[in-house]
Amino acid sequence: MTIKMRKVGAGLIGLLTTLAVVGGSAPSAMADETNSTAPPPKVELILDVSGSMKANDAGGMTRIDAAKKAFNEVVDGVPEPADFGVRVLGATYPGNDKAKGCVDTQQLAPVGRPNKVVIKNEIAKLQPTGWTPIALSLREAAKDLGTGTGTRRIVLITDGEETCAPPDPCDVARELAASGLNLVVDTLGLVPDENTRRQLSCIAEATGGTYTSVLNADELSQKVQQIVKRAVREVDETPAPVKGSPNGCQDAPLLAPGVYSDREEFGQHLWYKVPVKPNQELRATATVGADRKVARDYDVTVTAFGEDGRELVGNAGAGNGRTDVQSAGFRYPYKTDNDHAKTKTVCLVVTNAFAAQPNVATKPGLPLELTVDLVKATDSKAANVHGLGRGWVFLGVLAGFGLISGLLAGWLRRAFKALGKAMS
């Protein structure tokens, strides 16, 4: 079988793009800054060890061997301070009794600081065996991750759809999304079967996660490591829920420096406000995640306006379907020599040009992360002039060198021509 995968670009502005649904009205007061004492993220990998994982079509390896290789690399690279666990499904019961096969899920390693040697030894013992109870495994994994305020992430790796419904795993994912556990499920598919693809996409979309098809162990390892590292970044800069205004700057929430999460409808404009003091530089980055199937070409634009509606600065980032996210950002220095200058309110507007593919739900909106930072404004004008001056000097040297080379070449041609006539 052949499988297409959306490659993850190495130049991404790395961050979370899969967020839980954000509700509520726009805050009237400045949002809280991020909490540096947030609990560590919790990530649990669910590995399908059902009988179909014996198939030998994962880049020259069996599916289970590709998964084992990826797991070992992920375990070796689990970043601080993530709590990490492993659960398997279909790993112990080889028979035909559905009642027994559909409860076949076990936690291989508890969620916590991983004992890498123990986990890798347990993974090495796994052999493709039984059924595929995805829905039950999702519920049990949610229990494994516990409750609290920290980020929770489930990464489901499977080569097939649920074989034990009901319940439908997509319905279970919706239940988990509505439970308030701040739980995201990412799904990785090892087969091109359309029913499996549809089911895994539904699970991911229901929780604000991502679905990806992978071809071999290297791609699987790359994607899982990306997801785990993304979860860690979420905790380093825990996004504060906020709701941008679709009606303009006057109704926009006022933001302090920090990281914020929102949801933006397809093609929508969302507004936010940031107070900038004299001689401060505003830096803002907006990232919109493609957490469902979207049209191939898209872009994200983030623009700063003054309260008078004058555009101050803006930037756009365009994509062509090869990444899970698209980002854009800008830097705006508020430089002044006026000792009595007042704080300026800068209006930010984030716009996306994503379009949903046919029969793909457009609600809720796409996950949006907005990063806001205020730093001391540097003398960027002087720096630019210096750089431009050096560029003109360099161009002058090149021009002079070209002129001298041309004159010399012409003189040599004439000299050789004269010499040739004299000899003849």
Q: Where are the alpha helices (DSSP H) in 51-101?
A: 63-76, 98-101
Which range of 125-134, 221-230, 414-423 scores highest in mean pLDDT? It is: 125-134
Whether 32 maps to a domain, the answer reads no
Q: Does 299 have pLDDT greater than 80?
A: yes
163 with 187, same domain: the answer is yes
Mean pLDDT for 12-36 is 35
Q: Does 380 have pLDDT greater than 60?
A: no
Whether 286 maps to a domain, the answer reads yes
What is the CATH classification number for the domain harbouring 169? 3.40.50.410
Q: Does 46 have pLDDT greater than 90?
A: yes
Task: Report residue 391's pLDDT band, with 50, 70 and 90 as the boundaries.
Answer: very low
> What per-residue confidence (pLDDT) applies to 406?
60
> What per-residue confidence (pLDDT) applies to 296?
80
178 with 290, same domain: the answer is no
Whether 401 maps to a domain, the answer reads no
More reliable by pLDDT, 52 or 387: 52
* Angle value at C-alpha 35, between 32 and 37, nearest 5 degrees: 160
54 with 195, same domain: the answer is yes
> What per-residue confidence (pLDDT) applies to 253?
96
153 with 196, same domain: the answer is yes
Domain limit, last residue, from 208, 236, 264: 236
Q: Does 151 have pLDDT greater than 90?
A: no
69 with 206, same domain: the answer is yes
> What per-residue confidence (pLDDT) applies to 176?
87
Identify which of 363, 213, 355, 252 has the alpha carbon closest to the alpha carbon of residue 296: 355
pTM over 0.75: no
> What per-residue confidence (pLDDT) applies to 396?
52
Q: Where are the beta strands (DSSP E) in 28-182?
A: 42-48, 83-89, 105-112, 152-158
83 with 65, same domain: the answer is yes
Q: Does 270 have pLDDT greater than 80?
A: yes
User: Residue 169 sits in which domain range?
Assistant: 42-236
Q: What is the pLDDT of residues 212-249, one digit of tens each?
A: 887 777 778 888 877 777 766 655 555 788 999 999 99
In percent, the amount of the chain with pLDDT more than 70 equals 76
Q: What is the pLDDT of residues 345-358, one digit of tens each?
A: 999 999 999 888 88
DSSP state of 356: B
Give the relative orientation of helices 217-236 and 63-76 as an angle to the nearest 10 degrees. 30
Q: How far apart are CA 330 and CA 311, in angstroms?
A: 13
Q: Does 24 have pLDDT greater than 60?
A: no
Q: How far apart are CA 210 and CA 202, in angstroms?
A: 10
- Total number of domains constituting the chain: 2
Whether 394 maps to a domain, the answer reads no
94 with 221, same domain: the answer is yes
Q: What is the pLDDT of residues 34-43, one digit of tens each?
A: 344 667 888 9
What is the CATH classification number for the domain harbouring 265? 2.60.120.380
203 with 262, same domain: the answer is no
Q: Does 20 have pLDDT greater than 50?
A: no
Among 22-31, 144-153, 309-318, 330-339, where is mean pLDDT lowest?
A: 22-31
Mean pLDDT for 114-136 is 92
Among 187-196, 241-250, 397-406, where is mean pLDDT lowest?
A: 397-406
Instruction: Look over the chain and give the mean of its residue pLDDT values, rounded to a whole number.
Output: 78
